[in-house]
Amino acid sequence: MDNAMKPDLRGGLEAALGRAEILGKRWQEWIHQPSSQMEPLITDQVSQSGHTRADVVFQLKHLAEAITVESLQAWVRQSWPNGFAKSSNLNESGIPDSMLICCVHAGNIPMVGLQDMLAICLAGDFYAGKLSRRDSALMQAWLEYLCYQEPKLGQKLAWSTDAAGLVHSLNRPIQAWIFTGNESTWEMIQKQFVVDASAHDTPAATLVRRAEASIAVLDDQQSPLHSSELKALAEAMLLYQGKGCRSVGLIVSSKPLSFYQHSCAMVDSMEAVIMDSNQDESPVSEERVMERGWCAANQIAHIWVDHLLIREAPDYVFEPNESLFSTIPGVVYWVQGDRSQVEKWFDDSRKAAQIQSVYSVNTREHTSQSSRNRAEPSSKSRVESKTEPLELAQRPPIHWTPDGENPLSWVLNLPSQSHES
């Protein structure tokens, strides 16, 4: 394929597959640059994000495997709407106009906005990225590389760590927004971007991510977890200091935490991940220390390894309107129960919205249950639709669905869409 993007690639599935080929190829080139190119970027990323070098490298290694021409094309095929033949607004050159979509990225894990950026590019739309100052070094370098190598594509890319600067660089209104946050975030974004919502006849489309963390359901009724399962659990809790929405923030187990409290195997697996991810070099969160002190003073069962506290959940997590997760990253709640407990939480829409994924340590069981119950519109099936193998917690495929929403599908289905089949 020619390096320069052809105008006719902007319409239809074939065009999207062509964009997937370009993006996958350029991504592989960029991520496999010599270490002399990548090391300074990693150093900058570490200094601005507070993540460990090992965390950043882990993410890059994972993304190198997850983002390929094949995986992007598969994602496009999977996301392409059936019977997709919407009318397009054509510009003066007879080319469908693209949507201008602004992403306000969080900075909780390295390159957290990459999936949204790729989704918008694959759809042929215009990406305007407000990068987090905690997560800009790698994203900026990747975007610059892409612009340099693919100037046509680069015409549809704009980014900045400064909202006002980004708005200034755009010469047309933003038509859709993707951002993470809570109820007050949209108001804040409107202020930052000087968006006057009342000035638009139709409000801009928004995709808001709200999920806070994920749940691991341990199948430990018959026998304690294997060492590989313990390692996967430790990784799911500890990587990125527990700040990812795919990070495990709550464990449901058939056993009380006291069963594992004196288990060398569990502590060893956590210590090993802490050492491997260099978390031992990070300062220990004082809020977490306070939480440990509280547990000790109250004889609440807990496991403490400096960079992680697992504790019996407070009773109030079972109450409506209460968060399932601690507000302190690296504090994981433990609930004795089984999948039926998770199903109860999914009956509560506010609680369900907090949960990104439910991890099972038994993949085979999860898969078969998913297929068996797909037709049931129940909390049970909702749990199963969100269930993934634990080992994928920090290794999601490119087509994973934050908050249960495939961002590529969302972009492709935006109203007044420009894509053609």
The residue ranges that bind other proteins (CB under 8 A) are 104-108, 130, 132-134, 161-164, 179-182, 184-185, 188-189, 192, 209-213, 242-245, 247, 249, 286-287, 289-294, 296-298, 314-316, 319-323, 325, 327-329, 354, 356, 402-403
How near is the Cβ of 87 to other proteins at its closest, in Å? Answer: 34
Residue number with CB closer to other proteins (265 or 392): 392
Residue number with CB closer to other proteins (85 or 290): 290
Residue number with CB closer to other proteins (30 or 127): 127
Residue number with CB closer to other proteins (182 or 368): 182
How near is the Cβ of 355 to other proteins at its closest, in Å? Answer: 10
How near is the Cβ of 116 to other proteins at its closest, in Å? Answer: 12
How near is the Cβ of 291 to other proteins at its closest, in Å? Answer: 7
Residue number with CB closer to other proteins (69 or 317): 317
Nearest Cα residue to 228 out of 348, 336, 363, 413: 363
Residue number with CB closer to other proteins (80 or 304): 304
How near is the Cβ of 386 to other proteins at its closest, in Å? Answer: 14
How near is the Cβ of 150 to other proteins at its closest, in Å? Answer: 28
How near is the Cβ of 145 to other proteins at its closest, in Å? Answer: 23
Residue number with CB closer to other proteins (293 or 397): 293
